[in-house]
Structure 1
Amino acid sequence: MQLGIIGLGKMGGNMRTRLRRAGHDVVGFDTDPTLTDATDLADLAAKLDAPRAVWVMVPAGDATRQTVAALADVLSDGDIVIDGGNSRFSDDAPNAALLAERGIGYIDAGVSGGVWGLENGYALMVGGEKKHVDTMMPIFDALKPPGEYGFVHAGGVGAGHYAKMVHNGIEYGLMQAYAEGYELLKASEHVENVPAVFKSWREGTVVRSWLLDLLDRALEEDPNFDALTGYATDSGEGRWTVEESIRLAVPLHAISASLYARFESRQDDSPAMKAIAALRNQFGGHAVKELGGGHAVKEHGGGQGTDSGTSGDSPS
């Protein structure tokens, strides 16, 4: 089958390679002249035989929306566009409607697999009309891992990106649990070889997973993570998952907490923790650290019931 791919970065470039290995004819476009097979989107469309299919793998948001709008001008009735980026599911209906005005089909595809997808295959969660999904199944089959797992037609337009959003929200929670377990093991006076503990969990335990395998790999490379700082960004899906939990009144305790932990990681000196320290000092006279020439610990007797150093709330 023939396919155009727009965006040949780590994911898009590897997808092009995997599809070519499976015997598909792939024409890629990228702004990097060392990677591209076409000079622009019009040239990409000209290099494809009708009915054409084009897979978009560019950053979510404006870049994807602009690319979809540009494709509406160079593609024709009967063609199909697939958005395989991490777009918010709410972008899919407007994209589909814009393309439908020209008779162009639309599929949203949540893609998981990262840089390992080239060899292992990509988990695909797609949304769209059945006739469009059926048309693209040879491509999906080549990209997904071998076997019965790794692909789902989740529903109509938007369902693929919605499923991927929830997938990434779960991923946040799993990573946070592994990370907290790591920190507790490091703090313990009983465990002498923390990396070995994680390695032992890779077989025969209920917590084994690909994420655990990757954590073990990271610990082999840097057992104490000395080369890293404790700063974690978020790419949006965790926030969107929590927003949906609020809209639908579905409690997401672990996923919400993991998102907030990422926010906390970006604070060198947490304002919230400063407020907590101040309150503990006010009601309980607990020691605080003040910034001066160094960190000086000073006792203050602020608040009710602090003459004895305790109050009804002092354990907080």
Structure 2
Amino acid sequence: MQLGLIGLGKMGGNMAERLRRAGHEVVGYDHSPGKRDVESLPALIEALTAPRVVWVMVPAGEPTRATVKELAEQLEPGDVIVDGGNSKYTDDQIHDVMCREKGIGYVDAGVSGGVWGLENGYALMVGGSKDDVAKVQPVFDALKPPTPKDESGQEMPGAGFVHAGPVGAGHFSKMVHNGIEYAMMQAYGEGYELLAAVDLIEDVPGVVKSWTQGTVIRSWLLDLLVRALDEDPALEKISGYAEDSGEGRWTVEQAIENAVPMPAIAASLFARFSSRQEDSPTMKAVAALRQQFGGHAVHAVREQEVERPA
């Protein structure tokens, strides 16, 4: 089928390539002149045959909101917009109302797979009406991983793709997925730190690699940690600053709103905040309190770290 794709970055560009390899026609638009097939959104719409499907793969937030709004003003009844970024599910519900007023379908697709999706396929969590999802299904089928088989050789239908529910359900599912990802990465990181902190373990990368086969904690994330340690065994080339892109925060917000206990995911989110502090004000207060009530020693700030007035 024919697809318009807006956003040809690391994921969008690979998705376009995977779709083309599967025999689909992709008309791509990007702000970067070297990547795009057309020069503007109107030109992209003009290049597509109605009813059109246009997939938005740009950063979440205002870039996506502006793109969807512009498309809704230019597309025609019967066309479908797919948001494949990491938008908050409440944005999807607003976009759906706006599009429905113009007779345009709207589908939200949570996409996981990163830069590896070109070869491995992308896990897809989709929200929208049954009819709108059906219009995009050939694209979903091409993007998702091959159907896996169980130990007996039987195919496992449904793995790698789900129509999770109405509009918003796709990105809500991806939000929870990313919250779990936060906690898993935090656990691997803490395990790595403890291994590296003791003299008893002489081959930390080797221990981590040994976990990748036959253990209950093996995973693709663990494979990626092994890859990182192969490239930099002591992780000396990277700082300990970890950004968060929003989904972890939204997951914790929803946990609070729905009274669902999520201590592991919440702790992993707060750990990312801690990573951005060179000298924690909280721990300064803790040290001061220990000195006040118990006379415990505190470590003075080294002279070279003190900012002196000019």
- TM-score (norm: length of structure 1): 0.92
For residues 141 and 199 of structure 1, the distance between their equivalents in structure 2, rounded to whole angstroms, comes to 33
Query: Is 1:157 matched with 2:170?
Result: no
1:283 aligns to what?
A: 293
1:268 aligns to what?
A: 278
1:54 aligns to what?
A: 54
Partner AA of 1:39 in structure 2: E
For the aligned residues, what is the CA RMSD?
Answer: 0.9
1:76 aligns to what?
A: 76
Partner AA of 1:279 in structure 2: L
Partner AA of 1:261 in structure 2: A
For residue 287 of structure 1, report the CA deviation from its aligned partner.
0.8
For residues 237 and 304 of structure 2, the distance between their equivalents in structure 1, rounded to whole angstroms, comes to 26
One of 190, 196, 203 as aligned partner of 2:213: 203
Deviations 1:246-273 (A, max 9, x none): 1011110000000000000000000000
Bigger-Rg structure (1/2): 1
Deviations 1:67-118 (A, max 9, x none): 0110012110000000000000110111011111110000000000000000
For residues 134 and 70 of structure 1, the distance between their equivalents in structure 2, rounded to whole angstroms, comes to 24
For residues 55 and 246 of structure 1, the distance between their equivalents in structure 2, rounded to whole angstroms, comes to 32
For residues 57 and 38 of structure 1, the distance between their equivalents in structure 2, rounded to whole angstroms, comes to 16
1:97 aligns to what?
A: 97
For residues 230 and 285 of structure 1, the distance between their equivalents in structure 2, rounded to whole angstroms, comes to 32
For residue 293 of structure 1, report the CA deviation from its aligned partner.
2.4
Partner AA of 1:6 in structure 2: I
2:150 aligns to what?
A: none
Identity over aligned pairs, percent: 65
For residues 37 and 229 of structure 1, the distance between their equivalents in structure 2, rounded to whole angstroms, comes to 38
For residues 158 and 292 of structure 1, the distance between their equivalents in structure 2, rounded to whole angstroms, comes to 51
Runs (4+) off by over 2 Å: 292-295
Q: Residue 289 of structure 1 aligns to a residue in which SS?
A: coil
One of 208, 220, 223 as aligned partner of 2:230: 220
Q: Residue 157 of structure 1 aligns to a residue in which SS?
A: coil
For residues 142 and 242 of structure 1, the distance between their equivalents in structure 2, rounded to whole angstroms, comes to 33
1:7 aligns to what?
A: 7
- The count of residues paired between Structure 1 and Structure 2 equals 295
For residues 291 and 43 of structure 1, the distance between their equivalents in structure 2, rounded to whole angstroms, comes to 60
For residue 294 of structure 1, report the CA deviation from its aligned partner.
6.0
- TM-score (norm: length of structure 2): 0.94
Structure 2 unaligned residues grouped into runs of 5+ = 148-156, 306-310
Deviations 1:180-199 (A, max 9, x none): 00000011121110000011
For residues 69 and 281 of structure 2, the distance between their equivalents in structure 1, rounded to whole angstroms, comes to 43
For residues 230 and 83 of structure 2, the distance between their equivalents in structure 1, rounded to whole angstroms, comes to 36
For residue 62 of structure 1, report the CA deviation from its aligned partner.
0.7
Deviations 1:251-306 (A, max 9, x none): 100000000000000000000000000011111111101125269xxxxxxxxxxx
For residues 137 and 179 of structure 1, the distance between their equivalents in structure 2, rounded to whole angstroms, comes to 38
Higher relative contact order (CA 8 A, sep 6+): 2
Q: Residue 249 of structure 1 aligns to a residue in which SS?
A: coil
